Amino acid sequence: MTERRIDLPQGTLDLLILRTLALEALHGWAISERIHQISSKVLFVQQGSLYPALHRLERKGWIKARWGASENNRRAKFYELTASGRKQLELEESTWRKLAAAVAQILETT
């Protein structure tokens, strides 16, 4: 494996999943692919963390799942954002931005 991977900081996986699902409903594999591509192959979500995270979010009611047909016409489980998930996404985004800005500021000034 030549790609360089960065481990996701604690708690950011939820944010990334919610963000990825904000545009359209996706199945698990597509979510991990999407994150991988958009992050310019820096971020790679292990299956071992992806699916437990998906089920956790589902239980919290932020995403919901339904079975549908995939691009190659196979049965796949699609996840989509719920209303409360959208709210949660906004909340987490703003928290993240504040955190990132704060961290960046510290890094630049010292």
Partner 1 sequence: MWSDLLLRLRSLFHRKKVEAELDDELRFHFENQVSKLVQSGLTPAEAQRRARLEFGGMEQLKEEHRDARGVNFIETLLQDVRYGLRILGRTPVITSVAILSLALGIGANTAIFTMMDAVMLRLLPVRNPQELVQVRIRAPKSGTEMNGYFTNPLWEQLRDQQDVFSNAFAWSETRFDLAQGGAVQYANGLWASGGTFETLGRRPAAGRLLTAADDQRGCAGAAVISYAFWQDRYGGAEGAIGSDLSLDGHLFPIIGVAPRGFYGLTAGTKFDVAIPICAVAVFGKGSRLDGRSTWWLEIMGRLKPEAAPQQLKARLEVLSQQVFAAAVPLDWEKTEQQEFLQRVLVGVPTPTGPSYLRQQMERPLYVLMAVVGLVLLIACANIASLMLARGMAREKEMATRRALGATRTRLIRQLLTECILLSSAGALLGMLFARWGNDVLLRYISTGRQTVFLDLSLNLRVLVFTAAVAVLTGILFGVLPAFRSTRVSLTSAMKGSRAVKSDTRMRFRLGKWMVASQIALSLVLLVSAGLFLRSMVKLATLDVGFDRNGVLLVNTNLKAAKVAPELRLQIYDEIEALLQKLPGVISVGRSWRTPVTGYEWNEYVSIDSPSAPKGDDSLVYFNYVSPGYFATLHTSLLAGRDFQASDTKTAPGVAVVNEAVARKFFPGANPVGKTFRVGSGSHEPGRTFQVVGLVKDSKYESLREATLQQAFFPISQIPGNDDSEYFEIRTATRPESLNAAVQNSVAQVNKAISLEFGTLAKQIEDSLVQDRLLATLSAFFGGLALLLAMIGLFGSLSYLVTQRQPEFGIRMALGAMPVSILRLVLREVATVLFVGVAAGLCLALAAVRVLESLLFGMSTRDSVTLVAATLLLAVAALAAGYLPARRAMRIDPMDALRYE
In whole angstroms, give the CA distance from residue 79 to residue 14. 13
- Residue 79 near residue 18 (C-beta atoms within 8 A): no
* Least distance CB 46 / partner 1 (angstroms): 8
Token readout for 100 is 């990132």
Cα dihedral across residues 11, 16, 22, 27: positive or negative: negative
- Count of beta carbons in the 10 Å neighbourhood of residue 100: 10
In whole angstroms, give the CA distance from residue 35 to residue 30. 8
* Least distance CB 51 / partner 1 (angstroms): 6
Q: Which of 77, 86, 93, 96 binds partner 1 (CB under 8 A)?
A: 77
* Contact map string, positions 23 to 62, toward partner 1, x by CB under 8 A: ----xxx--xx------------xxx--xx--xx-xxxx-
- Whichever of 48 and 109 has its CB closer to partner 1, that residue is 48
DSSP letter, residue 41: T
* Least distance CB 75 / partner 1 (angstroms): 7
Interface of this chain with partner 1, residues 84 to 103, rule: CB under 8 A: none
Point out which residues bind partner 1 (CB under 8 A).
Answer: 27-29, 32-33, 46-48, 51-52, 55-56, 58-61, 64, 67, 70, 74-77
